[in-house]
């Protein structure tokens, strides 16, 4: 790190020469995120001519300031490559679509899906544990066999997406999140099939392709009422698919990794299953699925005494803020005795994740079924990370489960 003048004569801001999208940092981002926090309220990323915020208080203020740190020009490092969804809108264009999604994905609506989600989770576990006896062990891949299974079944079904082609959901969203970073090798790897996946997703979100009941049908009904424009309906439905599957997959896988790495916390949950909600939120804080997004300044903006010039890209590093010792005591510890409320893994403010109730329902359903079946969770061999420019992902999470 160096302290140097930034490109515009507006004061001295620390300069970081790190590449946050390098394979080394994607494999283990924690040292970089600590450097970002310790650099100051704002740092300048010299490789990308962009600014970055990693401290909790400063990032929270930045996220709330949608007027000056805007989403309408895209939430990636570069300009958007496809039609804008809800995440790439600012008020007033953002208001009506968000109200529609908040209504159809409210906690009240999700509660009505609880039994079905719990049954799905139980079926997944029964298939994995079939033939096992109490005290015996079963080796599974926590990511492929558990974390990937429930969201890819539950969320498309709840959205009214037909079964054909659902295997496209994860790679489709993987490319979308990669494209929020620089145009690097990860983006290039997904580009060859991006058009095919986008065509598939667009077709699946049309009215005649959707099942008669589900989030998608509800979005089209809102268009019929005049709450949103008809041309917005497929884009909103597509936004649910691109934002709601991979993030939940990695969130659940990260939760399992947290328990496997901290077996005493699994014991604490088994003693008090009512901690399931705390467990998921604490795991989201500790192992943030969405590492960062970007905003663009509409004017000169002062954050923590540092001024970012107009028309600058600003990286909001949620993962760094989620482990900021200024906000969290002993932040590197996964701890169910902590109150994790206020973590930034669902964002904050007008762009806070509208699908958070669906994610929490799936995690709670899984834990409700897992706790009585499994006495202990431990890593059975080395994990394999999946590199993505935005998400903290997995390729493999080998676990050994000891049955209760």
Could you tell me the CATH number of the domain that includes residue 81? Answer: 1.10.630.10
Helix (DSSP H) and strand (DSSP E) numbers for the chain: 16, 14
For 80, counting Cβ atoms within 10 Å of its Cβ (0-12 exposed, 13-18 middle, 19+ buried), the class is middle
Q: What is the share, in percent, of the chain residues with pLDDT greater than 70?
A: 96
Tell me, yes or no, whether 6 lies in a domain. Answer: no
Confidence of residue 241 (pLDDT cuts 50, 70, 90): confident
- Which ranges constitute the DSSP H helices of 65-106? 95-104
With respect to residue 382, please indicate whether it lies within any of the assigned structural domains.
Answer: yes
Read off the tokens for 93: 């264009």
Is residue 226's pLDDT more than 50? yes
Assess if residue 7 is contained within a domain. Answer: no
In the predicted model, is pLDDT for residue 335 greater than 90?
A: yes
Q: Does residue 4 form part of some domain?
A: no
- pLDDT tier at 9, thresholds 50, 70, 90: very low
The predicted-structure confidence for 344-366, as pLDDT tens digits, reads as follows 999 998 989 999 999 999 999 99
With CA atoms as reference, report the closest residue to 346 among 289, 279, 390: 289
Pairwise CA distance, residues 181 & 188, whole Å: 12
Looking at residue 337, its pLDDT comes to: 98
Structure tokens at 171: 């790679």
Number of residues assigned to the chain = 404
Tens digit of pLDDT for each residue in 99-116? 999 999 998 899 999 999
Instruction: Tell me the C-alpha distance between 282 and 333, whole Å.
Output: 10
pLDDT at 5: 45
- What residue ranges in 6-80 does DSSP mark as E strands? 12-16, 43-45, 50-53, 69-70
Cα→Cα distances 109→73, 101, 159, 218, Å? 32, 11, 12, 12
Strand 43-45 to 12-16 pairing: parallel
Which is more confidently placed, 81 or 281? 281
Lowest mean pLDDT among 55-64, 84-93, 98-107: 84-93
Assigned domain for 34 exists: yes
Please report which helix (H) or strand (E) contains residue 303, including its range.
strand 301-303
Whether 7 shows a pLDDT value over 70: the answer reads no
Task: Provide the angle, in degrees to the nearest 10, between the axes of the packed helices 276-286 and 263-271.
Answer: 160
CA distance 166 to 143: 17
Give the integer Cα–Cα distance in Å for 247 and 240.
11
Residue 73, pLDDT score: 87
For residues 87 and 390, the model is more confident at: 390
Per DSSP, which regions of 64-185 are E strands? Answer: 69-70, 137-141
Q: Is residue 2 part of a domain?
A: no
Q: Which position has the higher pLDDT, 374 or 4?
A: 374
In which domain, by residue range, is 372 found?
Answer: 15-403
Residue 55 has pLDDT above 50, yes or no: yes
Residue 273's pLDDT is what?
98
Q: Does residue 191 or residue 265 have the better pLDDT?
A: 265
Q: With 80 as the cut, is the pLDDT of residue 44 above it? A: yes
> How confident is the model over 328-334, as a mean pLDDT?
98
Dist CA 153 CA 361 (whole Å): 13
Q: Is 251 exposed, middle or buried (0-12, 13-18, 19+ CB in 10 A)?
A: buried
Residue corresponding to tokens 């973590």? 343
Backbone angles phi, psi at 344, to 5 degrees: -105, 15
How far, CA to CA in Å, does 153 sit from each of 17, 162, 166, 204? Answer: 42, 11, 9, 16
Q: Is the pLDDT of residue 204 over 90?
A: yes
Number of structural domains in the chain: 1
What is the residue-averaged pLDDT of the chain? Answer: 94
pLDDT value of position 249: 97
Mean pLDDT of 211-240: 95
Is 10 within a domain? no
pLDDT over 70 (residue 81): no
Indicate the burial class of 330 (C-beta count within 10 angstroms; 0-12, 13-18, 19 or more): exposed
Q: Which two tokens stand for residue 38?
A: 């310790």
Q: Residue-wise over 290-322: b if at least 16 C-beta within 10 A, else e? A: bbbbbbbbbeebebeebebeeebbbbbbbbbbb
Residue 286 lies in a domain: yes
pLDDT of residue 11: 56
Please determine, for residue 4, whether its predicted confidence score (pLDDT) is greater than 80. Answer: no
What pLDDT, on the 0 to 100 scale, is given for residue 402?
Answer: 98
Separation in Å, CA 146 to CA 41, 159, 248, 262, 401: 39, 20, 12, 19, 12
- Tell whether omega for the bond before 92 is within 30 degrees of 0, i.e. cis: yes
At residue 279, does pLDDT exceed 60?
yes
- What is the mean predicted confidence (pLDDT) over 291-297? 97
Strand partners, 401: 138, 377
pLDDT at 342 over 50: yes
Return the closest-CA partner of residue 12 out of 305, 314, 311: 305
What is the average per-residue pLDDT within 213-235?
96
Of 67 and 88, the structure prediction assigns the larger pLDDT to 67
């Amino acid at each position: 790190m160096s302290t140097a003048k930034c490109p515009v004569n507006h004061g001295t801001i620390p300069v970081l020469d790190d590449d946050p999208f390098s394979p080394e940092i994607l494999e283990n981002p924690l040292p970089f995120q600590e450097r970002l926090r310790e650099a100051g309220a704002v740092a300048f990323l010299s490789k990308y001519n962009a600014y970055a915020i990693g401290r909790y208080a400063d990032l929270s203020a930045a996220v709330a300031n949608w007027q000056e740190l805007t989403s309408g020009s895209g939430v990636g490092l570069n300009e958007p490559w496809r039609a804008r969804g809800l995440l790439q809108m600012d008020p007033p264009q953002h208001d009506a679509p968000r109200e529609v999604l908040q209504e159809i994905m409210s906690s009240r609506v999700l509660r009505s899906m609880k039994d079905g989600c719990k049954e799905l989770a139980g079926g997944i576990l029964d298939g994995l544990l079939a033939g096992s006896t109490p005290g015996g062990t079963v080796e599974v891949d926590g990511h492929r066999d558990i974390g990937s299974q429930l969201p890819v079944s539950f969320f498309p079904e709840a959205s009214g997406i037909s079964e054909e082609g659902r295997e496209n959901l994860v790679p489709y969203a993987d490319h979308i999140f990669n494209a929020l970073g620089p145009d690097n090798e990860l983006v290039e790897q997904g580009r060859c099939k991006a058009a095919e996946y986008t065509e598939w997703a667009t077709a699946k979100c049309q009215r005649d392709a959707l099942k008669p009941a589900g989030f998608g049908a509800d979005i089209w009904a809102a268009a019929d009422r005049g709450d949103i424009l008809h041309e917005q309906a497929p884009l909103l439905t597509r936004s649910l698919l691109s934002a709601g599957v991979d993030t939940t997959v990695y969130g659940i896988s990260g939760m399992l990794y947290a328990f496997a790495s901290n077996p005493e916390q699994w014991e604490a949950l088994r003693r008090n299953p009512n901690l399931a909600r705390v467990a998921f939120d604490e795991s989201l804080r500790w192992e943030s699925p969405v590492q960062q997004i970007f905003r663009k300044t509409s004017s000169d903006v002062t954050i923590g005494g540092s001024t970012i010039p107009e028309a600058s890209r600003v990286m909001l590093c949620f993962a760094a803020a989620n482990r900021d010792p200024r906000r969290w005591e002993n932040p590197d510890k996964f701890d169910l005795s902590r109150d994790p409320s206020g973590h930034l893994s669902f964002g904050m403010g007008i762009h806070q994740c509208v699908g958070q109730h669906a994610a929490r329902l799936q995690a709670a359903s899984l834990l409700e079924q897992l706790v009585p079946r499994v006495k202990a969770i431990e890593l059975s061999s080395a994990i394999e990370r999946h590199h993505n420019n935005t998400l903290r992902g997995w390729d493999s999470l080998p676990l050994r489960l000891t049955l209760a």
